[in-house]
Structure formats: C-alpha cells, structure tokens
Amino acid sequence: MGQEIQENFSASLHETLSACGDDSDFKGHKTITEIFGKLYVVGATSEGAESPLDVKLFDKATGKWLAPTILGKKPNSSTVHSGVLVTNDRILFLKADSSANEFSYFLEVDSKFVRERKDLLGGEVVAWSKGSIGDGPKPIVISGPSGVGKGTLINKLMKDFPSTFGFSVSHTTRAPREKEVNGIHYHFTEREVMETEIKEGKFLESALVHGNLYGTSVEAVEAVTDTGKRCILDIDVQGARSVRASTIEAIFIFIRPPSFEELEKRLRDRGTETEEQIQKRLRNARKEIEEGKEGLFDHVLVNDDLESCYANLKKLLGLDSMETSNKAASVDFRTPSSFTISRDAENNIVIDSQDTETKDGIPKKIVLDVSSVRGGAPGRTRGLTVSI
Ligand SMILES: Nc1ncnc2c1ncn2[C@@H]1O[C@H](COP(=O)(O)OP(=O)(O)OP(=O)(O)O)[C@@H](O)[C@H]1O
Ligand SMILES: Nc1nc2c(ncn2[C@@H]2O[C@H](COP(=O)(O)O)[C@@H](O)[C@H]2O)c(=O)[nH]1
C-alpha cells in the first residue's frame, strides 16, 4: 500500500484534486481518499441537511472523472464528518451527533460484492453499507420444501418480535394468491422486467422455482438492514446456495416435514395451487429434502408440531434467553457534534470530541478498532470494536 493509499486527513489530496481541475461540483465539505491512483471524492451535490452523499472518482492515470454506479442507501450529507481508509477495499465515514447504531458508514470500493457488481454492470461501482458494532445481527435464511411451514414460522417470529426482525420481500413472476399484497408478501413482477433487472445486477440471488422466477433484490435486504433489524429470507435451496456463496454471512436453517405424506396434505389443505402445480412442487420437494441433508445448512428443524418447531427455532436464534447476538445494543453512546480524527500507535481510529460542552452519553474520546470488520454491502459491515 504505502504511498499509493492516502487518507483524507491529508491536505495534499485537496491540492492534488485542485491541480487536476476539481470537477466534482460538491457543495460544502467534501472528503477525498486516494486508493491506487484513484481519488474517491465524496460530498453532496445539493445544499440542505438531507441531501444524500454522492461519490465521484478521479482517475489520475487517465486524468478523467468517472461517475461510478453507487449501490446501497446513501447517508445524508449533513452529519457525515470524514472519510477514513480502513483497508484498500473500503472507506469509513463517521457521523457527528449520532447514535452507536447510526454513526458509521462504509463506502466499499473494491470488496467482493463490488467486484462482482463491476463484472455484471461494467464500469466503476461503489457500495455503501452501515457499520455494526460487534457481530451485529446475522441475516437468517430459511429454506425447505413448499408447504413445509416456512411462511407460517416466519409470520410467528415477525408477529412476536416486530422490532427485531424484518422480512426480505422477494420478487416473483408468479401470480399473486388471494390475500397476497404486492410489496408485502412479494414484489409481483413481469418476467421480462425481472430478467432485465437480474442482468442489471439488482438481485443478490435469483432462481427458477416451480416454473417461476423468484429473487432477492439487493434493495430488499438493505431495506431491512437499514432499519437495524435482522433480515429474514424465505428462499429455496438454490437461493440459499447463492447466498452462501455471497459476501452475506447468514445463518442457514432448513425446515423438514415430518413425512412426505404430511407435506402433501399441507400443500393440498392450503388450497392455493392447482393439482398440476402441487405435483410439480412435490416432485421438487423430494430433491430439496435430499439437498437439505448436504451440509449447506447450519440447522435443520423438523416442523411436526408447529408450537414445538417454533420453540426450537426461537431457541436456536437465542430468543428464549436474554442473550442477543446484537452486541451494538450493549454499547450505548452518541458521537460528539464536532470532532477530530487521528490514528493511535495500534492503528486504531481515535475520535476526539471538540464539543465545548460535556454532555451525558457523549464521550470525550472514542477509539475504534477496525481490524476485524467483515461482511458489508448488501447488508451491514460487522466487527467494529469500540472503546470509550
Ligand atoms: N406444523 C404444522 N402442522 C400442520 N400444518 C402446518 C404446520 N405448519 C404449517 N402448516 C400449514 O401448512 C400450510 C403450508 O404452510 P406455509 O404456507 O407456511 O408453507 P411454506 O413452507 O411457506 O410454503 P411455500 O414454500 O409454498 O411458500 C399452511 O396451510 C399452514 O397453515
Ligand atoms: N431463490 C428464491 N426462492 C424464493 C424466493 N422467494 C420465495 N422463494 C421460494 O419459492 C418457493 C415457492 O414460494 P411460493 O410463495 O410460490 O409458495 C418457496 O420455497 C420459497 O422459499 C426468492 O427470493 N429466491
């Protein structure tokens, strides 16, 4: 890395940018980070507290400005203080006057996810993700044959823990069932539209399931993680395999029926499919049940008695005790309204308050260890350690 990477505490980057002819057109404060000959310039193109942060890129080798595709929910400009290089694949942005859950955002410039999207979309791509202190809540992938009771179990979790879980609303080309609401149960879409969107890289995973296209959009996962909730995905085994191969660190749970006969009975009793569709789903179920044994899943639950299966699901998610996997909740602070950023001898990032008044819950110094950050877009960047 050495000289090839510079952080934006460096005034010389601003001089470099001016010398290159600053075309970025940002209003007010902007940050510049150089990574391997490219200047990542971050700022807002419009005035106003709520204006989202934009990213522009100057390639020193070609002397050209590039407009990257920006994925992920953009933080707004009013409070983002500064960008700090974490590794050569992501830049950390810190927000002033913000809670522990909201103060850190990462701009990924060369993560696995960004590289995948670059291959799909061509051109430059960057992606925003929100930071999580500690392990953060891992998304939960629930798979199993059609009719086994995945939706029933997920609905119970969502009803009992509405502020903990958020459902990733998939896209599908199948027709809505009676009582299914567009945008709540699924985003119902046309095949051509969905195929185009898949090519445009809007989906984290997609698969042909029982003759229709289904897929999890990047936006669906982000819509949940942005609220700080734990994302639940109800997807088939092909989808689970794709998510396993992605950058998302999830918990994979397979739901098995007590018997094939019982599965058939549940599908028929549900009364939502034609006989032909039931036959197709049952044929696929045999294959899926075999695949469920292959080690792709972290946990297998048998949904015989609904209440016992639900109790087991809650147990494995740590919901039956006070323990929670979201360590962010245990670190409670606000960032100061004004601060400086530096590095200590261990390369930790040190935030020193410049606030004139001392306020409860706002430490004078916050030390961030970013050496174990992982995961990231689409979802949260986990592993940030904070000491105050
Ligand atoms: N443990 C259970 N015992 C008896 N019936 C059940 C049980 N769990 C779910 N059911 C019933 O089985 C039917 C199928 O359940 P559900 O729709 O939740 O399955 P699913 O796995 O989500 O199916 P799909 O993949 O097709 O969406 C529903 O009518 C539901 O009420
Ligand atoms: N790979 C994906 N599979 C998905 C997704 N959303 C739902 N599903 C799976 O499809 C079948 C059938 O669902 P149904 O609502 O038509 O009964 C079921 O196994 C779901 O888990 C998705 O986004 N990706």
Give residue 24's pLDDT: 66
- Mean pLDDT (the chain, rounded): 88
- The Cα–Cα gap between 92 and 82 comes to 8
State the pLDDT confidence band at 322, using cuts at 50, 70 and 90.
very low
The mean pLDDT value for 220-249 works out to 90
- The Cα–Cα gap between 165 and 149 comes to 18
Give residue 14's pLDDT: 67
ipTM: 0.99
281 is catalytic: yes
Query: Does residue 215 line the site of ligand 1, with CB under 6 A?
Result: no
Judge contact between 316 and 138, C-beta under 8 A.
no
15 or 307: whose pLDDT is higher? 307
270 is catalytic: yes
Terminal Cα-to-Cα distance of the chain (whole angstroms): 30
Lowest mean pLDDT among 210-214, 228-232, 357-361: 357-361
Q: Which ligand is nearest to the CA of 266?
A: 1
Distance between Cα 240 and ligand 1 center (Å): 19
Q: Which two tokens stand for residue 179?
A: 């009582």
Query: Of 371, 281, 12, 318, nearest to 138 (Cα)?
Result: 318
Query: Of 122, 121, 127, 130, nearest to 71 (Cα)?
Result: 127
Query: Of 159, 169, 153, nearest to 316 (Cα)?
Result: 153
Distance between Cα 230 and ligand 1 center (Å): 22
- Name the catalytic one among 90, 230, 281, 380: 281
Q: Does the pTM exceed 0.90?
A: no
Give residue 226's pLDDT: 76
Nearest CA to ligand 2 atom 21: 235
The mean pLDDT value for 133-152 works out to 92
Sorted by sequence, the CB contacts under 8 Å of residue 330 that are 6+ apart come out as 134
Residue 139 has pLDDT above 90, yes or no: yes
Q: Which of 150, 152, 267, 282 to mutate to test the pocket of ligand 1 (most atoms within 8 A of CB)?
A: 152
State the pLDDT confidence band at 99, using cuts at 50, 70 and 90.
confident
Query: Does residue 303 line the site of ligand 2, with CB under 6 A?
Result: no
Distance between Cα 148 and ligand 1 center (Å): 5
Residue 305 CA: which ligand 1 atom is closest? 1
Give residue 323's pLDDT: 39
Residue 242 CA: which ligand 2 atom is closest? 1
Q: Which two tokens stand for residue 70?
A: 């920006």
pLDDT digits (tens, 9 = 90+) for 268-302: 999 999 999 999 999 999 999 999 988 999 999 99
Place of tokens 């185009």: 196
